[in-house]
Chain A
């Protein structure tokens, strides 16, 4: 199985290979400069029209489905916050059963889409169940690092020291106390065929990963962790969404990598960042963001140590599974 999916396919190589078709928006109610909105646009361009999207409650759900309007150009269902993976499992199983009984001949792929709240916290149990049962579903996590549409509450995906309305900044508490949950390691521990991180600042990499993940679905589940900044929640200018996402990769805060059939691989430009001197200084990423405006020098050092620690972990993964 591993060899078959390792075949070289012609993917998206340049910006001109990106399909012109739009399957999301315009007219959706996402804020100006929304990172997740851009992520969904890119994902659907790569996936094409033959998909069914299952959406958890979250920013994208409330902004794209304001009754009587929908921003979706593909079949779409929303049920609840916690069960996007469970609903997606059911749809995948139903398609299989209908095909087997000769009632349908459907080739539609199922994409579950949830934010960091719907994945790290509320949807974790459904996600783990889906991965364990081995449903051929692509689960996409768009990570804007807090519950944004309800008013910026911290989630398991919020990084340490980040200001949110439920991790306020004072003299004793300095933003979020805990560190960001390592969701990729949790997902990889389910031994699924394909899992990857991607960023809206690197759309060609993101779209190729979507296609790779969809190709792997006949073997089992696939998972994509997409980094998508939120201007109101991160206290950045609307025009800086993509710039901040790029800086997150360049400073090593959000490394691009993939777990492909038991092999671990760092993707450009993160493949150069094992060497710390090739990463941009962390301050470049922190300074433009209001949610980190309170950080003192020793707190920036502590954050840097955390980033270095994660890179140390990735380097060991690379040695073991590269």
Chain B
């Protein structure tokens, strides 16, 4: 949470003038389990990206060569800043390339 503004600093009517400033609110801290994408098994079908409610799956123009030598121009990565760990991506993945791993509390 950013520092609270005084009433003189707030626009009339309390309008929020910055679109999508909810990105400052990192909902990733809610997570109890994290999705991990196996980049070698992933077929880049875009289904996890499509069904993420946050959205917390990034579609990156990042080339990747799998262990079997297959080349992809796209890479899908989880944005752990916002992922709430619902697991829809793992449930919908047609090749089961996403595993849900329990979050471990750092001591």
> Which B-chain residue is minimally distant from A18 (CB atoms)?
B50
Among all A-B residue pairs, the 10 with the closest Cβ atoms: A239-B87, A27-B22, A33-B86, A32-B84, A26-B82, A32-B86, A238-B86, A27-B25, A38-B53, A239-B91
Of the candidates A30, A41, A67, which one forms a contact with B16 in the assembled complex, judged by CB atoms under 8 Å apart? A67
Give the shortest distance, in Å, between A240 (CB) and chain B (any CB).
7
Interface: B69 (CB within 8 A): no
Tell me the minimal C-beta distance from A288 to chain B in angstroms: 12
B91 interface neighbour in A16, A32, A70, A242, Cβ under 8 Å: A242
Q: How many residues of B contact A (CB 8 A)?
A: 39
Flag whether B47 is at the interface (Cβ < 8 A). Answer: yes
Q: Does A119 contact B (CB under 8 A)?
A: no
Which of B31, B53, B59, B85 has the most CB atoms of chain A within a 10 A radius of its CB? B53
**Interface membership of B65, Cβ < 8 A:** no
Interchain CB contact under 8 A, B90 and A239: yes
Contact indicator B25/A238 (Cβ below 8 Å) = no
Interface-side segment among A71-79, A126-134, A216-224, A314-322: A71-79
> How many A-B Cβ pairs are below 8 Å?
115
| CB pair A68 B45 closer than 8 Å | no
Q: Give the secondary structure class of B's interface.
A: loop
Residue B71 at the A interface, CB < 8 A? no
Question: A residues 20-66 with Cβ under 8 Å of B?
Answer: 20, 22-35, 37-38, 41, 64-66
Residue B79, interface by CB 8 Å: yes
Interface residue? A243 (CB, 8 A): yes
For the complex formed, measure the closest distance between the CB of B52 and the CB atoms of chain A, giving whole angstroms. Answer: 8
Interface centre among A26, A29, A241 (most CB of B within 10 A): A26
Q: Which residue of B lies closest to A240 (CB)?
A: B91
Task: Contacts A16-B46, A28-B22, A38-B51 given; indicate if A33 touches B16 (C-beta within 8 A).
Answer: no
Give the docked Cα–Cα distance between A130 and B62 (Å): 48
Kindly state whether residue B102 has any CB partner on chain A within 8 Å. no
A68 touches B5 (CB 8 A): yes
A-B contact pairs, 29 of them (CB 8 A): A18-B50, A22-B20, A25-B82, A26-B22, A26-B23, A26-B27, A26-B54, A26-B55, A27-B22, A27-B23, A28-B22, A28-B25, A28-B54, A31-B84, A32-B30, A32-B31, A32-B86, A33-B84, A35-B53, A37-B54, A38-B51, A69-B24, A69-B25, A70-B18, A71-B22, A73-B20, A239-B87, A243-B91, A243-B92
CB distance from A231 to the nearest CB of B (A): 8
- Kindly name the residue among A69, A231, A243 whose own CB sees the greatest number of chain B CB atoms within 10 A: A69
Knowing A20-B59, A69-B24, A71-B22, say if A30 contacts B50 (CB, 8 Å). no
Query: A10 contacts the other chain (Cβ, under 8 Å)?
Result: no
Q: Does B21 contact A (CB under 8 A)?
A: yes
Residue B19 CB within 8 A of the other chain: yes
Cα-based distance from A32 to B33 in the complex (angstroms) = 11
